[in-house]
Chains A and B, each alone.
Chain A
Amino acid sequence: MVTVEEIEHVSKLMKIDVDDHSEYLEKVQTIISYFDILDSAGVESEEISMPEIPIEQLRNDEYIPFDEKLIEKMNHYKGTYVRAPKM
């Protein structure tokens, strides 16, 4: 069972400012409880197959210049920088 504290913790990790965490509780709990059906899938011994792409099939790691000043399309640009809040 998901708790309000867990939702608060996860939303902090996901960087989402949520005013009222309990607002999400019921639906998130319903969804996560539904996901419990995976327990009965009997897939414990199953191997996870992942597609592999050989490195020679990847495009060359080359600099491709953009034909416009991309930075000027940014929200908070100043000169050659994007402005960000203080860390």
Chain B
Amino acid sequence: MNLKISALEFIEEVKTGNITVEEFTAKTIERINQVDDKLHAFLSVNDDAIDQARNIDKKIKSGENVGACYGMPISIKDNMCIKDTKTTCASKMLENFVAPYDATVISKLKKQDAIFIGKVNMDEFAMGLTTEFSAFGPSKNPWNIEHVPGGSSGGSAVSVSSYECIASLGSDTGGSVRNPASFCSTVGYKPTYGLISRFGLISYANSIEQIGPLTRTVKDTAFMLNLIAGIDPNDNTTINNNNEDYLEGIESGIEGKKIGIITEMMGEGIDPEVLSATKEAISKLEGLGATCEEVSLDMVKYSVAAYYTITATEAGSNLARYDNLRYGYEMPVEGYEFNSYISKARKNFGPEVTRRMIIGGFVPSAGHAGKYFLKAMKVKSKLTKQINEAFKKFDLLIAPTVPILPFKIGEKIDDPVSLFLVDINTVTANLTGKPAISIPFKIVNGLPIGIQLLANSMDDKLLLQAAHALEQTVTLPEVPI
């Protein structure tokens, strides 16, 4: 049984009867049992997966309608609600929280007969970019387990990269899908803001975060997007995509397209190997008929500060709901005054979340809001104007997904600013609402490098076409685990 197949290959194999869903699911669980002690991608595994697979096999045999996923095993970042399943957000605060409803993306995938093989690790409340801030311990990079897998959707990327599932859903607030995708050599997608419903995603920074797929191929991402994108009455920030088919025309190529190379993402602080890989990607795109030239977005240098100011502020507000009264961990209320109970209960937040809440209380407060929060919002506005201007001239923009190679676990954990700056190439897409994708491009010294492409809002289809074209120019080694 070959677990190293793409989603579309899996569906074809099941449809033609070459494999059964039960066999594949059983083999996937065996794989998880085999490698996950080392990698720690999963926080929980679905005990009913085999039964669900068996039921889908029955439906196939009896000629009943089967959903488009045909029992494909998908992992889900543990900040998305699956009814009657633990949704911990990798936090002690929600260690025993069982979701009473399905997120919209989950209902959509359930209707298409996906199997949720398990919930995967992340930085606590998605605040981090290495998974080192998970309250349940870090995930490890399957390319070298001494290195971080990226984050915050680290478990998603690890599970796809190491064949513990076929695809995964992560969430991307400042690069949290694309960064681990780059570090683990998978495709990672952040759609146009509003393209995918956030209903049932535990909120971190609502104004910029999006759910996005992590897959083995760009075509698989387009397939997933077909299933989960679209307007949702439960999330009024969603936009109507008119049931766009993202797979249709994905092989159209990029001949004649104009690509802007973002100057500010190719300079200071970039690893020479990453720079060289990006130049190689640019040459390949030119070889496919695109024209590439430099474009400056000078607000990029302020983007990380703006991003962390805005997200900390939104997080401070979003996390106010965790009072441990309606849901949370076991802590009796007797003998406490109301406020002291809540403050005491909230000690269960990890140090990074606590730090961000302190910052989230400080930067928008009276006397400081003008200096920090308002300026951050102005940088966001100006950056959006600049990128909109760039898209008048260019069809796409390119930059490395992350300016450095995956680093060692613990290497940056005590240096918050150095850690924040790892996000410098990814936060722009979030602050401006643009779609962006990380494509696996190269393995250097056993560590992956991803290339990022960005497109204008609602140009997701064009972005996937370009990403597919670039993907076809590379052949990468298999993950060594």
Interface residues of A (CB under 8 A from B): 2, 6-7, 10-18, 24, 27-28, 30-32, 34-35, 37-41, 43-44, 46-49, 51, 53, 57-59, 66, 68, 70, 73-76, 82-87
Contact = CB atoms under 8 A, between A and B. Distances in A.
Contacts of B347: 16-18
Interface residues of B, number: 63
Contact of A30 (B234, B380, B417): B417
Interface stretch (B7-15, B245-253, B351-359): B351-359
A80 to B, nearest CB: 13
Contacts of A34: 305, 417, 420
A62 B224 CA distance: 31
A27 B100 contact: no
Interface in B312-343: 316, 320, 323-328, 330, 333-334, 336-343
Main secondary structure on chain B at its contact with chain A? helix
B316 A35 contact: no
Contacts of B338: 84-87
Contacts of A7: 358
A53 B236 contact: yes
Contacts of A38: 302, 305-306, 309, 371-372, 375-376, 379
Contacts of A11: 354, 357-358, 361
B326 A59 contact: no
A84 B361 contact: no
Interface string B101-136: 100000000000000000000000000000000000
Q: In the complex, which of the residues A2, A15, A39, A87 has the most CB atoms of chain B within 10 Å of its own CB atom?
A: A15
Contacts of A44: 378
A47 B341 contact: no
Contacts of A58: 236
Contacts of B233: 59
Nearest to A13: B361
Given A41-B299, A82-B325, A32 B359 contact: yes
Given A14-B316, A15-B339, A59-B233, A68 B378 contact: no
B374 A28 contact: no
A68 B100 contact: yes
A40 B355 CA distance: 25
Given A11-B354, A46-B382, A53-B236, 11 more contacts: A10-B365, A13-B365, A15-B320, A16-B357, A17-B347, A24-B358, A38-B302, A46-B378, A48-B377, A59-B236, A75-B324
B346 A39 contact: no
A57 B420 CA distance: 37
Interface string B166-183: 000000000000000000
